Structure formats: C-alpha cells, structure tokens
Chain A
Amino acid sequence: MSEVASEVIREMKREFKVVGKSVPRRDGIGHVTGKTVYVDDISFPGMLHLKMVRSPIHHGIIRNVDFSEAEKVPGFVRVLTHRDVPKNIYTILCLIGVGPDEEPVLAVDRVLYKGEPIAAIVAETEEAAMEAVSRVKLDLEELPAVFDVEEALKPDAPILKPWGTNYFIYEGHHCRRVRFGDVEKGFAQADYIIEEVYNTSPIEHAPTETTACVAKPEPDGRYTVYTNTQALFFTMDNTALILQVPFSKLHFVGGTVGGGFGGKVDVITEPIATLAAMKTGRPVKFKYTREEEMRVSSTRSAWRMYFKDGVMKDGRIIARKVISYADSGAYNRHTPYAVTKHAANIAGPYTIPNVYIDAYCVYTNRQPASAMRGFGVTPASFAVECQMDKIAETIGMDPWEIRFINAYRNGDMRPHQKVVEDATLIEVMKAAAELVGHKLPEHLLKMHSWDREKA
C-alpha cells in the first residue's frame, strides 16, 4: 500500500465513530452475567413438551403406527400426525420460488431417512413425552437405501422423489448448468490436462444450544413463538403457510441464538410446536436433545467434484470442466440454492475463457443437508484451491504465481455471465503474503485487480 493510501485510511479512521474501532457488545453484559434469555430459559405455567416419534430406519414404508401404549403414559396429552398438519408437504425455499413441495412436516406413508419425524407427542413433562415416544409401536417395511450421490443416479437406484428422479430439476434440466466458451476446444489447445476428484464430508454445526422453540397461545387468538431460528421472518412465513393461517396470527420473537452457523435456518420446530399449541390451547416447548441435534438436524452437504482443467505452459488455465454432486440428503432444505451458488463459484476467482459446469442436487437416504457458512461455495473453494496447487505442481510453477496469473480482474466476464466488479483477489493475496512473511517477486507485486498488464 502506498504512503498516500495509508495516510488516507488513517485520516478516515479518525473521522469514524465505529469503523476501525472496538465498540462494546450490546449483548455482552447479558452474556457474561447469564442474564441473556435463550429459548430454553423460557417457560410458562402449564407449558407442555413435544417430542418426536422418529424413523429407526433409513428408508421404508409406514404400514402402521400404534399409539395405544403411549396414550397410557401418565402425563400424555395428545399425538399429532400428518393428518393434523394443514399443509403437511412443504419446501422451505418456496419463498424464493423453489419447488415443488416435497418434505412432509410429519411422514405420511414413507420415511426417507433415519430420524425422520413420523408423529409428535405432546405431554405434561419432557420425561412423559419421551416415555410415550418410546412406547409407540412402528410397523415399517424396510426398503433398500442409497447413501452415495453417484449410486443414487444409477438406473437401479431406489427412486426417492415423486417426480421420478433422485435429482432436483432446474428449469427442466437435470442439473444446474454453466456453459461458457468452448471447453473441448480449450482442452485441444492446452499443453496440460489436469484431472482430479475432490470430496467433502457432511459437517454437523453442533451449536452448544440445541434447536428449540416455545409456542404460546395469546388471549387475542394469536400465537407468540419464541425461537432460536437464524431466519425469523423466513420461519414465520413458512410456519404460516404450513399451518394455513394469516401471517398476522403469528408473532415471532427471536434474535438470541446460542450458536447457529447455518444449522438453524431450517423451519423445523416452529410449525409443529405452534400446531401443538393450537390443538391444546397451552404453551408448548420443543427442544432438540443433543442426540437429535447430532443425528437429525441438517448438516453441511457432502460434495463430490470432478475437475478437468486445460492449462498452458505459461500457467494460464484456458478450460475448466467440473461435474459436481451435492448430497442433499432426503429433502431439499437449502441445497437446491447451494448448488446454484456452487455452479456460479466453482470456476473460482480466476478468469478462464472456456468453462463447462454440471452441478447436481442429489437426493439420498441421509439426513437432509442444508445451510452452513458459505454452503455450496465453501466446498468449491476447497476444491478450486487444491486444484490450483495441483496445477502449479504439475507444470512446475510457484503456487502464488499460478494464482496471480489467473486472478480475475475488473471487467473480466465470469462463466455465469457476470462482469467482474470490485475485484480484490490480487490485493488480498499481496496482503496475505505480507502477513505470512512471504516475499513476492517484483513482477507479481506490480499486478493489480483494476486492469490487466500487457502480455
């Protein structure tokens, strides 16, 4: 950074009240005294507890569910099944036009993952609810399950979706596609063809506070829902749609989240707890146990990414073909959107003239995947940067240099037809090199993001 630029920034900092300064946290006093109220800290007189009857198998037909022994448990109040849910089949991203609806709030006649909710039991105490859940007799017929994205796309795989495929359909296409230039022509011209496959695992967010809500009937006929969702209005809107009530019937209170990391943006506890409050006229708490949080809450999706790059001797990547598979688990949640983000980013922050991308959102019998910290893009970045190192190693070039040469600049066209604006990759790499004490050669230090040096 030049002397002038440093001076300008120093001056700007003097002017700002907040930018560049540490300010006390608004919620800090509550946190260090334990006075912050998290959802599980809330209770009301007469509050009931809800627990789920969950599928013990990965895939199967529900033949019968017998609640007769559960009903005898002292403290049992009632059971809720799919018949009680006004709009049982939903998909949370319907709010941004994703469809069709495909996930049941409570399973109807089939379960697609181990831990899928089949019925909700409401009881006077948490212990009674758990006891009653343990006494429900499930008669299930187990079906073959599939746990691998590529297995799921084979012709003999069990079909999990009513529309007859194990992939999400993007505007009539079997995957999210990006086509830019002519990738085959690029491969034909390239000095090197460099191929690799990258895999990432599902990751559980494991927030220290488990997913929870309390739904409370109010005297004016509305329902107040205290929740640790990360997406308050999104959750309220989905709850209203699932329960088929006007939005004005619901008052959602939230904002205090004991760790989320994307794991609390699904609409999981609120619709059923609110329904239970409607059906019983009493406040209802639904809090995941740690086991539920680990076993059935959404994870980051697992990805498999096949790369084929055409690279010139001078380090320029002139063609990139990527076939990616996201394991959405049994249902959509946020994965169709993650795949779109992935397709837009899997070429990386590099300018490549010929790009071909097929990114699939695949259903398997795993627990549903969903949002987590840059979901879709994070696995792309992992694969892209591993691939950059592999390219550097293969052609015998410094890994910094390969990134500087290919870094996108303002005005470049990205494969998904967006003109690059406000690029900062080169500046960020220079700053990173300085921070780790790596001395960059002069010709790289001369580069910058706002135009391209003459060849």
Chain B
Amino acid sequence: MPSRIVAFNLNGRDVEVMVKPLTTLQTVLREHLHLTATKSGCRQGGCGTCTVLVNGEPMLSCLLPVEDIAGQKVVTLEGITPIEGLHPIQQAFFDNYAIQCGYCSPGVIMVIKALLDRNPNPTRQEIMDAIAGNVCRCTGYEPILRAAEDAARRLQSA
C-alpha cells in the first residue's frame, strides 16, 4: 500500500509525516522525527517506556498506528521539558532519585503527568494503579511513588 501524509499536533506544533499504513506513532517519533525521549523497550505494549499523551491520555505509542491520531494532540517528554530548568514532575523525579538506568523514566513521567492533570492530589494507591503498566527493571518503584507524591505537592503549591 502506498504511503500517505498524516497530520497531527505534536508538542503544540503542527507536523506532517509521510508514512506507510500501520506505521506506529513510536516509529514516527523516533525514526522520522528523531524525538528519542520516547523509548522503545518491547514494541508490543508490555513495558510502558514508549508512553506519550494523546489528547491528555497516556497511550502506548508502540501500539498506535499514527493514522489513528490524525488531527489530534500528542505530547511527548520533549513537550513538557522547559528550555531551561525542569518541569516540576521532572524536578521531583530528579530530587527523589526516582531514576536509575533511566530507560523507564520518560514513560513513567508521562503517566504521572496525565494522572496529576486529572487528579492533582492522588493517593499512593492511585499512583500505583497509574504506573501499573510501566516496568522498572531496576525495581525503583518506591522512589517513583515518592517522586509522584512530591510532584503533586509541588504543582499544588506552584
């Protein structure tokens, strides 16, 4: 099947990409647009490292054909990173050592962003439920939970 143009909004900017049908959003981000903060751990929806926000909802970009998000709003980790300094969630992850090898961090941060956008004061259980699809093989889940709680406090006092 021939390639076709798909247009969507990425990190506040309109983009157009020329893709074959069923090309995933992950491939478009990483290989066409060279935005590599979105990771590639399994390409089968199992690890959560490729999580991005589509219209504010966390989605696995490795399972998402890019034509399905035509005309919609996509936000990646690059999209929430300020030019200088860090987003409060990033700062909380950094300050609470909620990072080890760093490979799951982009996906986890995007999930926490989506959670705090709709629930500014989540319980620990709600945070655990939110990150249930994100695998941290360094097993640093406790610091991640602390960072998410800290991020909620920072955003509320901001």
> Residues on A close to B: CB < 8 A?
22, 24-25, 27-38, 40-41, 43, 205-210, 257-261, 289-290
Contact = CB atoms under 8 A, between A and B. Distances in A.
B99 A34 contact: no
A37 B106 CA distance: 13
Q: Which 10 A-B pairs have the closest CB atoms?
A: A34-B37, A31-B102, A258-B103, A41-B36, A290-B42, A32-B90, A34-B77, A31-B99, A208-B103, A208-B41
Contacts, number: 92
Contacts of A290: 41-44, 46-47
14 contacts: A27-B102, A31-B102, A32-B91, A33-B37, A34-B81, A34-B105, A38-B39, A41-B36, A258-B41, A258-B101, A258-B103, A289-B43, A290-B41, A290-B46
Contact of B36 (A28, A29, A37, A257): A37
A40 B40 contact: yes
Contacts of A37: 36
Given A31-B99, A290-B43, A208 B137 contact: yes
Contact of B102 (A30, A206, A289): A30
B8 to A, nearest CB: 19
Nearest to A37: B36
Contacts of B99: 25, 28, 31-32
A206 B49 CA distance: 13
B103 A34 contact: no
B47 A208 contact: yes
A34 B36 contact: yes
A34 B38 CA distance: 7
Interface centre among A29, A257, A260, A289 (most CB of B within 10 A): A29
Interface centre among B34, B39, B41, B104 (most CB of A within 10 A): B41
Contacts of A289: 43
Contact of B101 (A29, A43, A206, A209): A209
B74 interface: no
A34 B78 contact: yes
A36 B102 contact: yes
Contacts of A28: 94, 97, 99
B138 interface: yes
Interface in B22-42: 30-31, 34, 36-42
Contacts of A31: 93, 99, 102, 105
Contacts of B44: 290
Interface of B is mostly: loop
Contacts of A40: 36, 40
A210 B77 contact: no
Nearest to B91: A32
A390 B81 CA distance: 55
Contacts of A29: 86, 94
B9 to A, nearest CB: 19
A32 B109 contact: yes
B135 interface: yes
Interface in B99-135: 99, 101-106, 109, 135
Given A34-B106, A208-B137, A290-B47, 11 more contacts: A25-B94, A29-B94, A32-B91, A33-B37, A33-B81, A34-B76, A34-B78, A41-B36, A208-B41, A259-B138, A261-B137
Given A32-B94, A208-B41, A259 B36 contact: no
Contacts of B78: 34
Contacts of A27: 102
A210 B37 CA distance: 16
Interface centre among B37, B103, B138 (most CB of A within 10 A): B103
B137 A33 contact: no
A289 B78 CA distance: 25
Contacts of B137: 205-208, 259, 261
B58 to A, nearest CB: 15
A159 to B, nearest CB: 37
B145 to A, nearest CB: 16
Given A208-B49, A209-B41, A289-B43, A32 B36 contact: no
A259 B86 contact: no
Contacts of A35: 37, 81
A25 B36 CA distance: 21
Contacts of B109: 32
Nearest to B36: A41
A47 to B, nearest CB: 11
Contact of A22 (B76, B77, B81, B97): B97
A257 B44 CA distance: 21
Nearest to A30: B102
Contacts of B90: 32-33
Nearest to B76: A34
Contacts of B76: 34
A74 to B, nearest CB: 13
Contacts of B39: 34, 38, 208-209, 258
A28 to B, nearest CB: 5
Contact of B77 (A25, A33, A41, A206): A33
